[in-house]
Amino acid sequence: MEALIFIGIQGAGKTTFYDERFANTHTRISLDALRSRSRERAMLQRCLNTGQRFVVDNTNVRAADRAVYITAAKAAGFRVIGYFFEIGLRQALGRNARRSGKELVPVPAVAGTLKRLERPSPLEGFDELYVVSPGENGSFLVSPWPLEPACEQTSG
């Protein structure tokens, strides 16, 4: 049982990444698609109750946002894997500009999301954590989360 938590600003490529890598194996839980928190919670609960693999495809920019999903998934026995989409504002805005209709996010909203972004940490409860960055020709580069430097202790 596997829960994937996507973290990143609008236009970072989260949904495209899901479509390319997980659409055939994981249920997508997205507030954009479900349109209400109650529907989102119901979908999450269904996945947790049935052991269905899922991806939370929201911005999840604050640790408190992510904690809701991590705590629930861990309590249900799921392995929790985080994917942090690291992208510059200019690139994200460029990707966003190719959207249309309700999918197009206003520039101030994207910039505001970036300002609120809290980088994830393995200490939040992730079993694995990865960084996803833009590659050549719309591809994605996925690398393991960099190890945090150990604090040096001094005696004396």
So what's the pLDDT on residue 111? 87
Rg for the chain, CA atoms, rounded: 16
CA distance 72 to 45: 9
Determine which helix (DSSP H) or strand (DSSP E) holds 93, and give its type and residue range.
helix 89-97
Walk me through the domains of the chain, giving residue ranges and CATH numbers: 2-144 (3.40.50.300)
116-130 mean pLDDT: 96
Tell me which range, 15-24, 109-118, 140-149, is most confidently predicted by mean pLDDT. 15-24
- In which band, very low, low, confident or very high, does the pLDDT at 148 lie, cut at 50, 70 and 90? low
| Position with higher pLDDT, 34 vs 116 | 116
Residue 117, pLDDT > 50, answer yes
Q: CB under 8 Å to 82, separation ≥6 — which residues?
A: 4, 5, 6, 7, 66, 120, 124, 126, 128, 129, 130, 145
3-state secondary structure of 100: coil
Which phi and psi (to 5°) does residue 18 adopt?
A: -60, -50
Q: Which two tokens stand for residue 149?
A: 């430097």
Residue 50, pLDDT > 80, answer yes
- In which band, very low, low, confident or very high, does the pLDDT at 104 lie, cut at 50, 70 and 90? confident
Which phi and psi (to 5°) does residue 135 adopt?
A: -110, -165
So what's the pLDDT on residue 147? 65
Please count the residues of the chain.
156
CA distance 81 to 122: 10
- In which band, very low, low, confident or very high, does the pLDDT at 100 lie, cut at 50, 70 and 90? confident
Q: Which two tokens stand for residue 25?
A: 């194996």
Which range has the worst mean pLDDT, 121-125, 138-142, 146-150? 146-150
Q: Compute CA distances 4 → 58, 82, 95, 156, whole Å.
A: 11, 6, 23, 44
- The identity of residue 150, as a single letter, is A
So what's the pLDDT on residue 149? 52
Mean pLDDT of the chain: 90
Please count the helices (runs of H) and the strands (runs of E) in the chain.
Answer: 6, 6
